[in-house]
Amino acid sequence: MVAETHGVVLTYDDLRWVPEDGSRYEIIEGALHVTPAPGTAHQWAATGLASRLYVHTSDHGLGKVFSAPCDVKFDDTSIVQPDIVFVAQEGRAVIAAGQIEGPPDLIVEVLSPSTRQRDLRTKWQLYAAHEVPYYWYVDTDARRITALVLRGGEYQVVATAQGDARFSAPPFPELSIPLATLWG
């Protein structure tokens, strides 16, 4: 995957110069991506899902859950702010003072009109390239959640649920999430 950089390659150090204006700033392969703050349906779903994951992982000592904004630094030119990040107790990622360094064990993106294409293409490829083992995405318009597992360098769908169904997927197959609680 090659990003169009127009001759300028931005790094993690460049993020300190972005304004604190409520927008989300990410650098993917040296290119700056800016999106507006997410809407209320997005926030409701992200908060509800993060809360359930937090309780489950805390109760079972599995690791730590973080919500956006939280920088995930894959390398000096690829820093993203996923909606939800899970770092397993024995995972490869390092929780540092200002960011998570390396691939978390699970990344969850809640699709928004301004991020849908990036989440389902650019970030999907970035997460696979950096070997994030589990990637879930939530489509609030379709009221659907999809779970993917990285196998052989590519993501494969392993679970999907929609509407008012319950959702279970790796890395937490024992957790059953009632989707009706995510749609507001």
Q: Which residues, including other chains, have CB under 8 Å from residue 91's CB and lie 6 or more apart?
A: 63, 104, 105
* Higher pLDDT pick, 20 / 163: 163
Which CATH number does the domain 39-182 belong to among 3.40.50.720, 3.40.50.10740, 3.90.1570.10, 3.40.50.150? 3.90.1570.10
- Band of pLDDT at residue 43, cut at 50, 70 and 90: very high
Q: Looking at residue 6, what is its pLDDT?
A: 58
Confidence (pLDDT) at 2? 41
Residue 15: pLDDT above 90?
no
pLDDT value for 5: 46
Which of 19-23, 63-67, 164-168 shows the lowest mean pLDDT across its residues? 19-23
Which is nearest to 111 in space by CA: 83, 131, 72? Answer: 83
Domain range annotation of the chain: 39-182
Q: Which amino acid is at 16?
A: R
Q: Does residue 8 register a pLDDT over 90? A: no
Whether omega for the bond prior to residue 173 falls within 30 degrees of 0, making it cis, is: no
Mean pLDDT of 34-60: 95
pLDDT(165) > 80 = yes
Q: What band does 20 get if pLDDT is binned at 50, 70 and 90? A: confident
Tell me how far apart the alpha carbons of residues 109 and 83 are, in angstroms, rounded to a whole number: 5
The per-residue pLDDT for 3 is: 45
Whether the pLDDT of residue 137 is over 50: the answer is yes
Local structure of residue 32 (DSSP, 8 states): E
Q: How confident is the model at residue 1 (pLDDT cuts 50, 70, 90)?
A: very low
pTM of the model: 0.92
